[in-house]
Amino acid sequence: MRRRALAVLAAAAALTSCGSGGGDSEVLTVYAAASLRAPFTEIAERFEQTNPGVTVEFSFAGSSDLETQLEQGAPADVFASADTRTMDSAVEAGLVTGEPIPFATNTLTIVTEPGNPENITSFADLTGKGVSVVVCAPQVPCGAATTRLEEAAGTDLEPVSEESSVTDVLGKVTSGQADAGLVYVTDATRAGETVSVVSVPEAAEIVNVYPIARLSDSGNATRADDFVLFVTGADGRAVLADAGFGIP
């Protein structure tokens, strides 16, 4: 009878362990700019392979939206933004521990419907009659870069919509809701044949630097630091380079 009771207890413990992810699993929550979805997903897979028992969970969105969520108390361990301005806000709000580390760079380009039916060949062409253009909202890093690009090119755009993330801009173009949009070079590369790409020479001077940092309220500081080091190390840089990001 005693042996039977022990067996029942062991089975119950095994079920409890399975239900809780094995008991030894660690979850690391990373808030990251929408443009980082593809490379960070791959980086997380590599990180999990070298850190058994760790699961990386993401929240991808516009950097400013993520920073607002963090200020409102959203629980997370690591924050990676698409510009230094947003990260500076996080630092000023006391959300970040230590000095944020720049780990990637990106620039803007024009994407159009496949075949470029409006024959857009320059930034100025985005103001052509009947051309519908979509951009990021000014408070979003890609939107702030768009504003700077307008100044550099001496051209004022009249977008039909301003989106909260660069992926939303890309989606408007690929779905046929806009003739053209301004997105990061990396997003244009990822879109492949679903868009045509028009380079913008002036954009070479408008570079967004991406910083990453551990959050001060992280519940797993050691793993958070490990992930930051992984992103900024050789493995992370290789994945980012393959995705088209520059290295600061």
DSSP 164-212: SSHHHHHHHHHTTS-SEEEEEHHHHHHHGGGSEEE--GGGGG--EEEEE
Phi/psi of residue 119, nearest 5 degrees: 55, 50
Q: Which residues sit opposite 197 in a β-bridge?
A: 111
Phi-psi bin for 192: left (phi > 0), alpha (psi -120 to 50), beta? left
pLDDT digits (tens, 9 = 90+) for 135-160: 999 999 999 999 999 999 999 999 99
Q: What is the DSSP letter of 113?
A: S
Say if 236 falls within a structural domain: yes
CATH number at residue 146: 3.40.190.10
The answer to whether residues 135 and 98 belong to one domain is no
Q: What is the mean pLDDT of residues 1-18?
A: 37
pLDDT for 24 equals: 63
Q: Which residues sit opposite 209 in a β-bridge?
A: 105
Which tokens sit at 45? Answer: 């897979």
Which tokens sit at 101? Answer: 């580390």
Q: What is the mean pLDDT of residues 10-33?
A: 61
The answer to whether residues 123 and 98 belong to one domain is no
**What whole-number distance in Å separates Cα of residue 4 and Cα of residue 86?**
60
In the chain, what percentage of residues exceed pLDDT 70? 90
Say if 2 falls within a structural domain: no
pLDDT for 103 equals: 98
The answer to whether residues 229 and 177 belong to one domain is no
The answer to whether residues 219 and 189 belong to one domain is no
Name the residue range of residue 124's domain.
106-203
Say if 214 falls within a structural domain: yes
pLDDT digits (tens, 9 = 90+) for 176-186: 999 999 999 99
Q: Provide the number of structural domains found in the chain.
A: 2
Say if 168 falls within a structural domain: yes
Check whether 35 is labelled as a binding-site residue: yes
In the chain, what percentage of residues exceed pLDDT 90? 89
Q: What is the mean pLDDT of residues 196-209?
A: 95
Say if 96 falls within a structural domain: yes
The answer to whether residues 99 and 214 belong to one domain is yes
Say if 20 falls within a structural domain: no
The answer to whether residues 110 and 197 belong to one domain is yes
DSSP 21-77: TSSS-EEEEEEEEGGGHHHHHHHHHHHHHHSTTEEEEEEEE-HHHHHHHHHTT---S
The answer to whether residues 42 and 65 belong to one domain is yes
The answer to whether residues 190 and 142 belong to one domain is yes
The answer to whether residues 119 and 185 belong to one domain is yes
Average pLDDT in the chain:
90
The answer to whether residues 140 and 174 belong to one domain is yes
pLDDT digits (tens, 9 = 90+) for 24-75: 689 999 999 999 999 999 999 999 999 999 999 999 999 999 999 999 999 9
The answer to whether residues 137 and 153 belong to one domain is yes
Q: What is the mean pLDDT of residues 90-108?
A: 97
Check whether 184 is labelled as a binding-site residue: yes
Check whether 63 is labelled as a binding-site residue: yes
The answer to whether residues 78 and 124 belong to one domain is no
Say if 119 falls within a structural domain: yes
